[in-house]
Amino acid sequence: MTHVYDVVVIGAGFAGVTAARDLSVDEHSVLLLEARDRIGGRTYLGEAFGRRLDLGGTYVHWTQPHVWRELRRHGIPLAVPLDIDRVYWLAEGAVHSGTRTEYGAAVAPLAARFFADARARFPLPFAIEAVDAGKVEAQTVGDRLDSLGLSPYERDVLDGALATMVHSYDEQGLAQLLFWAATNFGDWNAFFEAAGFWPIEGGTGRLLDAVMGESEAELRLSTPVRAVEVDDSGVVVTTRAGERVRARAAVLAVPLNTLGDIELTPGIAGPASGMVAAGHPMRTAKLWARLRGELEPFYAFAPVGGNGINAARLEHHHEGDSLVVCFASDAAALDARDRGAVQAALRTFLPDVEVVDTAFHDWVGDEFSQGTWVHHRPGNLTGAVPLLREPHGRLHFAGGDIASLVVGGIEGAMETGASTARTVAAALADGTH
């Protein structure tokens, strides 16, 4: 048994790094254990095409209070995206093209029908614990699409607009999509902008490093945790290498889909245990494609299952070429490292494009994520997730996957990291821990 810490934080994504920073600057001794050889988790500012590119979570917004506060404190600006006025969308087997206004006119009435009851279902989006989402919690995204009586063309247009957020219509809960819209005034477009439009200048690593730079926590990389045991006097954390560390409390800030790989004593009980065992179903892929030449900036959308790539956006001109960020709703349906496969999928929209290179991180195959951002199965968003946000004695959970507001995002990760740190600090101060 090594040194005794006040808190061991497990997982150094945005949630764990925030919790460790807040607790350590509050004079607590904190050990931050991270399985990978880097911090950042599902955000990853990697190297590709001779520059730095975000291969995981990327976009933030000024409506996200925790992210925005940190960006302002550290003087980090947002990057201004390229102006795009060309959209391609695949519907009923044909590619349609128009300006953003024309595409918006095609999608807006359909999205309005899909999200019509978002605010009514979540009238207090900031207090989701108090919400009775009722019938919608039992439904899937597919149930809602099926209920709208859409023509085949309308269905493909709406499906394509939602496709970035969907891996499986049959497994993803309707409640989370409605909740996301509700937190953005009930407006899907507002949600879409908040979730997927504004990158951080210099990448997410800049924000991460700024927060980590303030931390007094001791960081150990390449240290996966195998087990956490709670007893009357504290917690014992055991690493896969067999090291045992004692602390007064532990914060588990790992992805929902990896939580089941850590042996917890006592275990998680009730509906939350079922949620952990089943995991969340998001198995999408994000990849970058370098296209030859400086092309006119564009967006492209295709319905789930309609094309290997379901959403694409030209994000940078770089050394005379174009860098396009792409999302595949089913990571297994496209080999993102296969230039030819990516080129064929993009040629659906632009028949002449030439893919020079691709860049990608396999978040689904990565044992420390086992999926991309969270999308909760029916019943979990207002059922099991709030239970995991509750302290489990000396054991606390944090992470974007269980956030109460921006669930599935960097903001949610930072919010839960900060709120969990406050809860733990209070328990350390009053002697409960």
Ligand X SMILES: Cc1cc2nc3c(=O)[nH]c(=O)nc-3n(C[C@H](O)[C@H](O)[C@H](O)COP(=O)(O)OP(=O)(O)OC[C@H]3O[C@@H](n4cnc5c(N)ncnc54)[C@H](O)[C@@H]3O)c2cc1C
What tokens appear for 302 in the block? 């295709």
Sign of dihedral through CA atoms 415, 416, 421, 427? positive
Of 114 and 180, nearer to ligand X (C-beta) is 180
Minimal distance, residue 34 CB to ligand X, in Å: 5
From the list 110-118, 122-130, 406-414, 419-427, the region that binds ligand X by CB under 6 A is 406-414
- Give the count of residues interacting with ligand X (CB under 6 A): 41
35 lies in the site for ligand X, by CB under 6 A: yes
Minimal distance, residue 73 CB to ligand X, in Å: 18
Q: Is the peptide bond before 351 cis (omega within 30 degrees of 0)?
A: no
Distance of CA 189 to the CA centre of its chain: 18
297 lies in the site for ligand X, by CB under 6 A: no
Provide the pairing of β-strand 321-328 with 285-291. Answer: antiparallel
Q: What's the length of the chain? A: 433
Q: Which residues contact 391 (CB under 8 A, 6 or more apart)?
A: 423, 427
Please give the Cα distance from 218 to 215 (Å, whole number). 8
191 lies in the site for ligand X, by CB under 6 A: no
Q: Which of 139, 215, 257, 258 binds ligand X (CB under 6 A)?
A: 258
Neighbouring-strand partners of residue 89 = 96, 301
Please give the Cα distance from 399 to 222 (Å, whole number). 20
From the list 21-29, 92-100, 160-168, 402-410, the region that binds ligand X by CB under 6 A is 402-410
205 lies in the site for ligand X, by CB under 6 A: no
From the list 74-82, 122-130, 138-146, 258-266, the region that binds ligand X by CB under 6 A is 258-266
Q: Which of 19, 20, 28, 56 binds ligand X (CB under 6 A)?
A: 56
Of 15 and 355, nearer to ligand X (C-beta) is 15
Sign of dihedral through CA atoms 124, 128, 134, 140? positive
Q: Are 45 and 205 in contact (CB under 8 A)?
A: yes
286 lies in the site for ligand X, by CB under 6 A: yes
The residue assigned the tokens 């632009």 is: 350
Q: Which residues contact 395 (CB under 8 A, 6 or more apart)?
A: 228, 230, 235, 249, 250, 252, 264
Q: Which of 10, 165, 166, 212 binds ligand X (CB under 6 A)?
A: 10
The 10 Å Cβ neighbour count of residue 277 is 10
378 lies in the site for ligand X, by CB under 6 A: no
Q: Which of 186, 196, 281, 308 binds ligand X (CB under 6 A)?
A: 196
How many alpha carbons lie under 13 Å from residue 380 in its C-beta half-sphere? 29
Q: Which of 180, 191, 298, 363 binds ligand X (CB under 6 A)?
A: 363
- The strand ranges marked E within 209-320 are 218-220, 225-231, 234-239, 244-252, 263-265, 285-291, 299-301, 311-318
From the list 19-27, 57-65, 129-137, 342-350, the region that binds ligand X by CB under 6 A is 57-65
Of 110 and 406, nearer to ligand X (C-beta) is 406
Please give the Cα distance from 142 to 308 (Å, whole number). 19
Q: Which of 380, 408, 428, 433 binds ligand X (CB under 6 A)?
A: 408
From the list 68-76, 99-107, 253-261, 298-306, the region that binds ligand X by CB under 6 A is 253-261
Of 115 and 192, nearer to ligand X (C-beta) is 192
Q: Are 407 and 401 in contact (CB under 8 A)?
A: yes
Of 57 and 91, nearer to ligand X (C-beta) is 57
Site map (CB under 6 A) of ligand X, residues 88-127, x = contact: ----------------------------------------
Nearest to 177 by CA among 375, 425, 387: 375
From the list 149-157, 179-187, 207-215, 407-415, the region that binds ligand X by CB under 6 A is 407-415
30 lies in the site for ligand X, by CB under 6 A: no
Of 143 and 214, nearer to ligand X (C-beta) is 214
372 lies in the site for ligand X, by CB under 6 A: yes
Q: Which residues bind ligand X (CB under 6 A)?
A: 10-16, 33-36, 41-43, 56-59, 196, 224-225, 253-255, 258, 261-262, 286, 363, 368-369, 372-373, 399-401, 408-411, 413
